Amino acid sequence: MRRKWLAPAAVAAVALSAPMAGVAQAAPLAGQHMSIPRPIIRRHHVITFNQRVAAYVKSLEGTPYAWGGTSPSGFDCSGLTQYVYRHFGRHIERTAEAQFLQFRRISKARAWRGDLVFFHVDSDPNSYVYHVGVYEGGEDMVAATSSGGTVEWQSFAWGGDTVTFGTISH
């Protein structure tokens, strides 16, 4: 059985005409026409509502605490969450308790960054909610602390079994 082998110049021409993603294309050899379609690689990365909320609230860290505050000149806890959600077109209620009643309760395992963390007066998950923050994953949230404080990244572990989670996005 006889095999025909391509001449080395033909092999080089074939190799140069095959497009390779991520590799610069060689210029055509003299007298050779190359019509190589250049691959267009577009990666669509969808950023969710929750991811936008979680990122945006971090940009407000350091804002002073203001009782009843609802703007970057000063926030209380529910004023912060309301402001951040409104920034992305979602109207939520004004107080921590009203936000809790508006949101769908979920387990910590189902919570996404950008959901809300609610603090109850006791371990009964239906008890009054007095504090709220934006969940950042793990044991962390961003919240407006208290008089004399600021909006800050903090652990919510201090809340123990009085903490619940809520969502309006998933």
Q: Tell me how far apart the alpha carbons of residues 44 and 4 are, in angstroms, rounded to a whole number.
A: 46
Q: What is the pLDDT of residue 30?
A: 54
Phi-psi region of 59 (alpha: psi -120 to 50; beta: other; left: phi over 0): alpha
Map out the domains of the chain as residue ranges: 7-42, 49-167
If the chain, 170 residues long, is cut into consecutive pieces of 10 residues, what is the mean pLDDT of each piece? 46 43 47 46 72 98 98 98 98 98 98 98 98 98 94 97 97
* DSSP conformation letters of 60-117: TTTPBB-TT-EETTEE-HHHHHHHHHHHTT----SSHHHHHHHSEEE-GGG--TTSEE
Q: What is the pLDDT of residue 35?
A: 46
Q: Tell me how far apart the alpha carbons of residues 158 and 59 are, in angstroms, rounded to a whole number.
A: 24
Rg, the chain, Cα only:
28
CB 144 within 8 A of CB 65: yes
CATH architecture of the region 49-167: Alpha-Beta Complex (3.90)
Q: What is the pLDDT of residue 45?
A: 65
